[in-house]
Amino acid sequence: MQGNKNRFKVRQFTAEIILWAVRWYLQFPIRYRDLEHMLADRGVHVDHTTLFRWIQAYAPKLDKRIRPHLRRTNGSWRVDETYIRVKGQWVHLYRAVDAVGQTIDFLLSPKRDAAATLRFFRRALKQSHTVNPRTITVGKNAANPIATKAMKRAGELWRFAKLRQVKCLNNIVEQDHRRIKRLVRPGLGFKSFASASQTIAGFEAMAMIRKGQVVGVPANHMGTQPDFIAALFRTAA
């Protein structure tokens, strides 16, 4: 516990303020300057550049720490890619949800090829809250069949898993993309791949909390979020 407290002691502001700012930025479509004004209205004066550093420091930690608390997803995967602008260029965000919309995993990649697809599937299968899928519904990306066949040969994927390219069945993940797009839009893109990856990890983590994927935290229940996140960082809410 002492080590967790020290992470906040080196900063000028209290853990409560830092986690409040992180939680709100990661779940609502606001800019850093907007959040700066919101905090100032509450008598807390913090520069938007400091807020950016908080997000870069704590967003990936939030994603990592909620993983053991997630409910198990089901074996019907819906996989698709969307696009995020980084340094004026489009990069690829691989995302997967199950049949009821629970987030399976995500991966930001500069390329959209078989290697990136394989890396995403392997990453998703390693998560503690996922199961080896019985069906994988995908879009028209030609890399999907290549990656799944390679994983079956290697014994990483259940050999009877069925790959389906049915657009109407993937509406659920395409709709889920909108949540991320809505959060990214106010910032007008990212300045680096690292900052994009770290921020999106936080967006996805808060989305999982809001969806009700965390055991003991009801979907969209704002009252329990602060206590749960404070507990993850072992600090007072």
Q: pLDDT per position in the chain (237 positions), as tens?
A: 445 555 555 467 889 999 999 999 999 999 999 999 999 999 999 999 999 999 999 999 999 999 999 999 999 999 999 999 999 999 999 999 999 999 999 999 999 999 999 999 999 999 999 999 999 999 888 999 999 999 999 999 999 999 998 877 789 999 999 999 999 998 878 999 999 999 999 999 999 999 999 999 999 888 899 999 999 998 654
> What integer pLDDT is reported at residue 1 of this predicted model?
46
The whole-angstrom separation of Cα 234 and Cα 85 is 35
pLDDT at position 126 is: 95
117, 129, 18, 60: CA torsion to nearest 10:
-30
CA distance 100 to 213: 11
> How many Å apart are CA 11 and CA 111, to the nearest integer?
37
Q: What contacts 72, CB < 8 A, 6 or more positions away?
A: 129, 130, 131
The pTM assigned to this predicted structure is: 0.91
- The CA distance from 232 to 163, in Å, is 37
**Position 57, amino acid:** A
Q: How far apart are CA 185 and CA 190, in angstroms?
A: 10
The burial class, CB within 10 Å (0-12 / 13-18 / 19+), for 18 is buried
Distance CA 103, CA 126 (A): 14
Domains and CATH numbers, the chain: 2-69+190-232 (no CATH), 76-180 (3.30.420.10)
**How far is residue 208's CA from residue 173's CA, in Å, rounded to a whole number?**
14
Sort residue 91 into left (φ over 0), alpha (ψ -120 to 50) or beta. Answer: beta
The Cα–Cα gap between 26 and 80 comes to 22
Q: Which amino acid is located at 58 in the chain? A: Y
Question: For residue 8, what pLDDT is reported?
Answer: 55
- The SS3 assignment for 111 reads coil
Pairing label, strands 135-137, 76-86? parallel
Q: Pseudo-torsion of CA 127, 133, 137, 138, nearest 10°?
A: 50
